[in-house]
Chain A
């Protein structure tokens, strides 16, 4: 297994006018799948597009497969595959036409027909790009990123807005890429996507990496667990809190949706259910969860990931 980094970003700063989009970002990605996880506006696209050679860093250095993406772009471009966050296709082109075209720009492309079938793009028929559904457009962009048999692919929010079936197809393809030795950098604001797919997750917020590690490492960080239940909106959380051990927190996240964070054990569960019984509350959908990346994000930033 190759251990040298496929991507090295050091102290990257990128400004748009007066606004700092990326603010001293450090990121090292190795072979496998690396997820760049963060809320909208965190600087994911700016970072990835700097790695793809679209933007010159204002300061800091970027190396992709050991190359400078701006100065050595000619050498780098054939070796990477790019899926932009949106667009990238002639509005009058058909899906198969555009995919075949991108394949022709490469020396040893994948079998286009097989790729079309695998991603369900045959359903596009003779429809031109502008009339395809959002999901079809996304899958075409994904196919364009992999058709040239790259060593490294960049996928900018590859499943944003996809239905669950198309999302699973995309996840399956990413897993196959990984096991065939293609490295993947993907940005996402879905924590389950990062948890499911990534060997390594970099959580970014406001243009900086605030935590990086495997999903397990990141989630182990806090020993606490979460208990969730739904009930009537407006329950007296203060009274619940009094019944709980001192190191627990309780909150109504959205009306009728409650969360208790602390050391969740059978005793705690009994305490919550008996409090509910005393208050005439039927705790629907009661569940115990391990720490998720979303919790990690919330703890690190004090913000919800999908604010």
Chain B
């Protein structure tokens, strides 16, 4: 054998190590994650098709009694809450669960991208997806005659805190359960919260004891808060923001504590 590092090779592989600048790594990671999500049919069903269908169907057909006023004014805020849940919780949990299972998280953990950089990229990817969802859904809602009110900043705050709360819970699930269990549980939770979280069925249709408990769910707080502002033009819904903040802190802390990368 020839001596090591004599340059008798082509010189192509001569070491020149170095990490890319952090913003570039995070942007690249966020772009890839978003691409993977938009390419995945099941994810699109969850994040785009189902919210769109529910919005169109329940606005045009009088199946659920949504109270006085236009159905779309009641439904649109709930559907926006559902969209946030579908991406930040269900979609993120399932995708991250399988990334963990297939060693993607593990492989990236030995790349120059730091772990917090990967998590930041995931958050950026979730936010980008939500912006696309919200643009689509508000467009459809306007076409259906939606007339929103209220302070856009309060809406933004609700959406961000809701995203934080759902992300914490989604990552907690993805980082502790098996990928198959996450898949099943995340879909089941999505379905249960869709029905029992004030998204399309008003909470006052439930028995009063159940209402109090259901009102504490993150999706109920988000849809209720959005409805207060967008449908009724209320000021900042501190109660709902408080509930979301508690979920966010508890969820993210638990995920930080128990998340396993392998």
Question: Chain A interface (Cβ within 8 Å of chain B)?
Answer: 1-2, 31-32, 52-54, 74, 77-80, 82, 84, 86-93, 97, 101-102, 104-108, 110, 114, 144, 146, 148-151, 175-182, 199
The main secondary structure of chain B at its interface with chain A is loop
Within 8 Å of chain A (Cβ to Cβ): is B216? no
Whole-angstrom distance between the alpha carbons of A93 and B114 in the complex?
A: 21
Whole-angstrom distance between the alpha carbons of A29 and B182 in the complex?
A: 41
* Residues in B101-150 with C-beta less than 8 Å from chain A: 102-104, 106-107, 109-114
CB-contact partner of A180 in B12, B25, B98, B106, under 8 A: B12
Known: A31-B5, A179-B9, A180-B14. A82 touches B107 (CB 8 A): yes
* B18 & A107 in contact (Cβ 8 Å cutoff): yes
* Residues in B59-100 with C-beta less than 8 Å from chain A: 98-99
* A78 & B5 in contact (Cβ 8 Å cutoff): no
* A54 & B106 in contact (Cβ 8 Å cutoff): yes
* A179 & B8 in contact (Cβ 8 Å cutoff): yes
12 A-B pairs (CB sep. < 8 Å): A78-B17, A84-B106, A84-B107, A93-B36, A101-B32, A105-B29, A107-B20, A108-B17, A177-B9, A179-B9, A180-B12, A180-B13
CB distance from A238 to the nearest CB of B (A): 43
Whole-angstrom distance between the alpha carbons of A117 and B190 in the complex?
A: 44
Which residue, B16, B39, B40, B98, has most C-beta atoms of chain A within 10 A? B16
Known: A1-B5, A78-B17, A93-B36. A106 touches B112 (CB 8 A): yes
* B107 & A179 in contact (Cβ 8 Å cutoff): no
* A182 & B102 in contact (Cβ 8 Å cutoff): no
* A84 & B103 in contact (Cβ 8 Å cutoff): yes
* B5 & A180 in contact (Cβ 8 Å cutoff): yes
CB distance from B23 to the nearest CB of A (A): 12
Known: A74-B114, A149-B17. A89 touches B102 (CB 8 A): yes
CB-contact partner of B9 in A84, A102, A180, under 8 A: A180
Whole-angstrom distance between the alpha carbons of A2 and B5 in the complex?
A: 9
CB distance from B167 to the nearest CB of A (A): 19
CB-contact partner of A179 in B4, B102, B114, under 8 A: B4
* A176 & B9 in contact (Cβ 8 Å cutoff): yes
Within 8 Å of chain A (Cβ to Cβ): is B209? no
The chain B residue with its CB closest to the CB of A198 is B1
Known: A91-B98, A179-B5. A148 touches B17 (CB 8 A): yes
CB-contact partner of A105 in B20, B104, B262, under 8 A: B20
CB-contact partner of A199 in B4, B20, B25, under 8 A: B4
Whole-angstrom distance between the alpha carbons of A218 and B36 in the complex?
A: 49
A contact residues around B208 at 8 Å (CB):
none
* B104 & A90 in contact (Cβ 8 Å cutoff): yes
A contact residues around B109 at 8 Å (CB):
53-54
15 further A-B pairs in the complex, CB-CB below 8 A; given A90-B102, A97-B32: A52-B110, A54-B262, A74-B114, A84-B107, A87-B104, A88-B103, A91-B98, A91-B102, A106-B20, A107-B19, A110-B13, A149-B17, A180-B10, A180-B14, A181-B4
Whole-angstrom distance between the alpha carbons of A199 and B2 in the complex?
A: 10
Within 8 Å of chain A (Cβ to Cβ): is B7? yes
CB distance from A116 to the nearest CB of B (A): 13
* A88 & B18 in contact (Cβ 8 Å cutoff): no
CB distance from A213 to the nearest CB of B (A): 15
CB-contact partner of B19 in A106, A110, A181, under 8 A: A106
* B1 & A180 in contact (Cβ 8 Å cutoff): no
* A104 & B24 in contact (Cβ 8 Å cutoff): yes
Known: A110-B13, A179-B9, A181-B14. A105 touches B106 (CB 8 A): no
Whole-angstrom distance between the alpha carbons of A175 and B2 in the complex?
A: 10
CB-contact partner of A181 in B15, B18, B98, B102, under 8 A: B15
6 nearest interchain CB pairs? A87-B103, A181-B5, A107-B18, A88-B107, A179-B9, A180-B13
CB-contact partner of A53 in B6, B7, B102, B110, under 8 A: B110
* A148 & B4 in contact (Cβ 8 Å cutoff): no
* B14 & A106 in contact (Cβ 8 Å cutoff): no
Known: A1-B5, A52-B110. A104 touches B13 (CB 8 A): no
A contact residues around B7 at 8 Å (CB):
179-181
B contact residues around A2 at 8 Å (CB):
5
B contact residues around A53 at 8 Å (CB):
109-110
A contact residues around B104 at 8 Å (CB):
87-90
Known: A54-B109, A101-B28. A179 touches B2 (CB 8 A): yes
Whole-angstrom distance between the alpha carbons of A87 and B16 in the complex?
A: 26
A contact residues around B1 at 8 Å (CB):
199
The chain A residue with its CB closest to the CB of B115 is A73
Within 8 Å of chain A (Cβ to Cβ): is B153? no
Known: A106-B20, A149-B14, A176-B12. A1 touches B4 (CB 8 A): yes
A contact residues around B4 at 8 Å (CB):
1, 31-32, 178-179, 181, 199
